[in-house]
Amino acid sequence: MRSSVLIGCALCFQIVGLSGCADIPGKTAAQQAQTIDKLVERTLPDLYKEYPQTKQEIANSVGYAIMENDLVKVPIFGEGSGYGVAIDNKSGKKTYITMMRFDIGGGDGGRIVRPVVIFQSEKKFKDFTEGAWSVGAGAEAAAKVGATGAAGGAGSDGVGDKGYAIYMITDSGVAATATVDVIHVSPVKLK
């Protein structure tokens, strides 16, 4: 049993290593910026509808990030990648990002999620936009509701002591997981 888990971990790390981070759709920098602008334009209204308090949280925040991630989870292992933008509320500066995620734990499913991270801590926001690693653990249940959906999890309960809050909007799929995940966010330049 132990060797099967080790082999599975090794295979998943290879898959993640080979797949890398998702590219931002678009052949030019202008097309990529337009793709991300549309992501922000459709995510904020969905976020405010599902979590009304987030409108004030964003207004009072240091900055926030909106991403789109494709996630696939099979029993024990999961992998995902995506792209997005972090927006500094003081300067308006946009930092374009890609991300990759690796999960270990129970659960299965496939879905597209749009995580929104709202930062109250300047240090956490700076770490995030400079490519910090984030390691977390928790349980999440997500289901599509109509055209969009909401996911409940350890990060969707407000800021607390962490200096940030995470909210999820789902576009497709259904999943239930209890995992330890490793997320890597990298700043990128558009083409």
For residue 18, what are its two tokens?
């080979």
What confidence score (pLDDT) does residue 162 get? 79
- Output the tens digit of pLDDT for each of the chain's 191 residues: 444 444 444 444 444 443 444 678 889 999 999 999 999 999 999 999 988 999 999 999 999 999 998 877 677 777 888 999 999 999 999 999 998 877 776 666 677 788 899 999 999 999 999 987 665 545 454 444 444 444 443 334 444 567 888 888 876 554 444 455 667 788 888 87
Do the beta carbons of residue 118 and residue 101 sit within 8 Å? no
Tell me how far apart the alpha carbons of residues 77 and 108 are, in angstroms, rounded to a whole number: 8
What DSSP line would sit under 90-133, residue for residue?
A: TT--EEEEEEEEEEEEEEEEEEEEEEEEEE--HHHHHHHHTT-E
Among 74, 152, 165, 81, smallest CA distance to 121 is for 165
Q: What is the pTM of this model?
A: 0.75
Among 85, 110, 111, smallest CA distance to 24 is for 85
For residue 48, what are its two tokens?
């405010």
Give the amino acid at 165.
A
What confidence score (pLDDT) does residue 109 get? 67
Strand 94-119 and strand 76-88: pairing? Answer: antiparallel
Identify the H or E element spanning 33: helix 29-50
For residue 176, what are its two tokens?
């239930």
What confidence score (pLDDT) does residue 190 get? 86
Q: How many CA atoms lie within 13 A of 26 on its CB side?
A: 16
What confidence score (pLDDT) does residue 48 get? 93
Q: For the chain, which residues make up each domain, given as ranges?
A: 2-187
What confidence score (pLDDT) does residue 114 get? 87
Tell me how far apart the alpha carbons of residues 103 and 76 are, in angstroms, rounded to a whole number: 8
What confidence score (pLDDT) does residue 181 get? 60
Do the beta carbons of residue 75 and residue 99 sit within 8 Å? no
Residue 151 burial by CB count (10 A; 0-12/13-18/19+): exposed, middle or buried?
Answer: buried
Do the beta carbons of residue 139 and residue 178 sit within 8 Å? yes
